[in-house]
Copies of this chain bind each other. A is one copy, B any other.
Amino acid sequence: MENRERRNWKEHFPTPIYTLCSFEIKLPRAEKYKTYFVLKSKDWVNVIPITPDGKILLIKQYRHGIGEMSLELPGGIVDEDGQNRQAAFISAKRELREETGFTTEETKYEYLNKFSGNPAMFTNWSYSFIARDVKETEPVELDEGEDIEILFATPEEVKSYLLDGQIHHPHMVAALGLYFLKYPK
């Protein structure tokens, strides 16, 4: 790997989810340093919850970027310290419980993979887990501003939602696409 030296890191604009930062870098083919912008963010997590009868639990929630409802997997920001797979696992269990009221035993979780937030612009990673045999055991605890509807779909229905674009959040499509690659049934 060629040397790519960063200098002059600046934090320009913090938001509750990420901070817009910049730095200067000299790339191998370039003659001068050039400024690039990145979004510094905590890690994210999502969960593919599967019920005892083989249905996948999905949520529908309002998303401010597109200003529309979006069909997704439960998930959120990794608030736990560490910003690694272990912290993401704790977050995964918490987000599933808070957003849906569904839980399962720790041993029923399987790590699926991690994805970049978006390697061109985000500094963080997004972890995906499978949670099997999830059951409704707890009350839902929504954050202020969260407005979530729960639904259940068979694997074949989820595949059709992916193919017809109803599920279009890139991290959710990535996680579910990988799940069906690993477990095509």
Question: Is the CB–CB distance between B119 and A66 below 8 Å?
Answer: yes
Give the number of residues in A that approach B within 8 Å (Cβ atoms).
Answer: 62
CB of A165 within 8 Å of the partner chain: yes
**Which residue from B13, B38, B173 sits with its C-beta under 8 Å from A64?**
B38
Q: What 0/1 readout, one digit per residue, does chain A (110-144) give for beta carbons within 8 Å of chain B?
A: 00011111111111001000000000000000001
A65 within 8 A of B: yes
- Residue ID in chain B nearest A182 by CB atoms: B163
A18 vs B36: C-alpha distance when bound (angstroms): 12
Q: A28-B147, A177-B180, A181-B180 are in contact. Are A170 and B115 (CB under 8 A)?
A: yes
Bound CA span A174–B169, Å: 9
> Chain B residues with Cβ under 8 A from A15's Cβ?
20, 37
Chain A residues at the B interface, C-beta cutoff of 8 Å: 1, 4, 6, 12-13, 15-18, 20, 25, 27-30, 34, 36-39, 62-70, 72, 113-123, 126, 144-145, 147, 159, 162-163, 165, 168-171, 173-174, 176-178, 180-182, 184
A25-B116 contact given A17-B37, A177-B177, CB 8 Å threshold:
no
Least CB separation from A164: chain B residue:
B113
Question: Could you list 8 further interchain pairs (A-B, Cβ under 8 angstroms) beyond the known A113-B165, A115-B173?
Answer: A13-B13, A36-B64, A72-B119, A116-B169, A118-B118, A170-B173, A173-B178, A177-B177
Question: A119 is contacted by which of B25, B65, B117 (Cβ under 8 Å)?
Answer: B65
Q: List 18 A-B contacts (CB under 8 A).
A: A13-B13, A16-B37, A20-B20, A29-B147, A63-B120, A65-B118, A65-B119, A66-B116, A70-B116, A114-B165, A115-B173, A116-B168, A117-B170, A118-B118, A119-B169, A173-B177, A177-B177, A177-B178
